[in-house]
Structure 1
Amino acid sequence: MKALGLEATMPSFLDDRRQFSAEEANESRCITKIRWVVEAANRRLKQFKYFANTIQNSSLVYSESDMSIACALTNHYQPPMARSKLEDEEIGVQIIQLRQQKNKIQLLLEENNLIRRFSLWEIINHTEIIDGFSIMTQDDLGDLTFGVFQLKRARSYAEERYSSTNLTSDVASSVHRCKIIPNLIRIPTQSAHSNRATYHPTIHFTDQAIIGWWCDCFTSARFLGCCSHIASAIWFLLYQRWQTQQRRMPSGEYKNLPTDSIQVSDFYDSSDDDDSQRYSLA
Structure 2
Amino acid sequence: MEGFVPQHLGFAHVSRDEIIQQHTRPLAQEMFSNIDSTSAILVLDGTYIYIQKSGNYTFSRRSYSLHKHRPLLKPMMIVSTTGYIITVLGPYLADAKNNDSSILNHSIQSNTEEIKRWIQEEDVFVVDRGFRDSESLLQDLGITVQMPAFLQKGQKQLNTEEANCSRLVTKVRWVVESVNGRIKTWTFLGKTLPNSQIPFICDYLRIVCSICSKYRSPVDSSAHDMDVEIACKMKALAKQSNELQEFVQENGLDKRCMKWNSLDAADECTLQFPKLTEDEIRNLTIGVYQLKTAKSYSSEHFTTDGLFEVLISDEIPDIVCAKIQSRHISAKKYLLWVKYNDVTITSWYCCCKNGARVVGMCGHIACIVWFLSYGRYHRESISGVRDWTSTVEDAAREIDFSDSDEDDGVTRDHDEEE
The letter for the 1-side match of 2:348 is: W
More strand by share: 2
Look up the match of 2:244: 105
Kept in 2, the 8 Å contact 1:98–1:224? The answer is yes
Deviation at 1:238, TM superposition (A): 0.3
Structure 1 regions of 5+ residues with no counterpart?
Answer: 165-170, 255-282
Report the Cα distance in structure 2 between the residues aligned to 1:44 and 1:224, rounded to whole angstroms: 28
Q: Which structure would you say has the larger RCO, counting Cα contacts within 8 Å and 6 or more residues apart? A: 1
Matched, 1:240 2:379: no
Report the Cα distance in structure 2 between the residues aligned to 1:68 and 1:155, rounded to whole angstroms: 38
The letter for the 2-side match of 1:136 is: L
The letter for the 2-side match of 1:134 is: P
Kept in 1, the 8 Å contact 2:375–2:382? The answer is no
Report the Cα distance in structure 1 between the residues aligned to 2:377 and 2:277, rounded to whole angstroms: 10
Look up the match of 1:274: none
Instruction: Give per-residue Cα distances to partners, 1:146-188, cap 9 Å, x unaligned.
Output: 1111111111111113218xxxxxx998522234321111111
RMSD: 3.2
Q: Residue 46 and residue 244 in structure 1: after superposition, are their counterparts in 2 closer, same or farther (change >3 A)?
A: closer
Q: What's the secondary structure of 2:298's corresponding residue?
A: helix
Look up the match of 1:35: 173
1:1-282 map, 5 Å: 3=121, 5-6=123-124, 7-15=144-152, 16-47=154-185, 49=188, 69-82=207-220, 83-125=222-264, 127=267, 130-163=270-303, 175-243=310-378, 245=380, 248-251=383-386
Deviation at 1:44, TM superposition (A): 2.7
Higher Rg of the two aligned structures: 2
Q: What's the secondary structure of 1:132's corresponding residue?
A: coil
Report the Cα distance in structure 1 between the residues aligned to 2:175 and 2:232, rounded to whole angstroms: 19
Q: Residue 40 and residue 174 in structure 1: after superposition, are their counterparts in 2 closer, same or farther (change >3 A)?
A: closer
Deviation at 1:77, TM superposition (A): 3.4
Report the Cα distance in structure 1 between the residues aligned to 2:182 and 2:347, rounded to whole angstroms: 37
Report the Cα distance in structure 2 between the residues aligned to 1:118 and 1:77, rounded to whole angstroms: 62
Tell me the TM-score normalized by structure 2. 0.52
Report the Cα distance in structure 2 between the residues aligned to 1:5 and 1:55, rounded to whole angstroms: 39
228-237 or 13-22: bigger deviation: 13-22
Deviation at 1:137, TM superposition (A): 0.7
Tell me the TM-score normalized by structure 1. 0.74
Instruction: Give per-residue Cα distances to partners, 1:58-114, cap 9 Å, x unaligned.
Output: 969x95x76653332012333331123322221111111112221111011112121
213-222 or 128-137: bigger deviation: 128-137
Structure 2 regions of 5+ residues with no counterpart?
Answer: 1-118, 125-143, 390-418
Q: What's the secondary structure of 2:339's corresponding residue?
A: strand
The letter for the 2-side match of 1:109 is: V
Q: Residue 248 and residue 196 in structure 1: after superposition, are their counterparts in 2 closer, same or farther (change >3 A)?
A: closer
Kept in 1, the 8 Å contact 2:295–2:381? The answer is no
Q: Residue 128 and residue 160 in structure 1: after superposition, are their counterparts in 2 closer, same or farther (change >3 A)?
A: closer
Q: Residue 251 and residue 222 in structure 1: after superposition, are their counterparts in 2 closer, same or farther (change >3 A)?
A: farther
Q: What's the secondary structure of 2:176's corresponding residue?
A: helix
Aligned length: 245
Q: What's the secondary structure of 2:287's corresponding residue?
A: coil
Q: Residue 251 and residue 33 in structure 1: after superposition, are their counterparts in 2 closer, same or farther (change >3 A)?
A: farther
Deviation at 1:241, TM superposition (A): 1.4
Look up the match of 2:5: none
Deviation at 1:216, TM superposition (A): 0.6
Q: Residue 84 and residue 108 in structure 1: after superposition, are their counterparts in 2 closer, same or farther (change >3 A)?
A: same
The letter for the 2-side match of 1:148 is: V
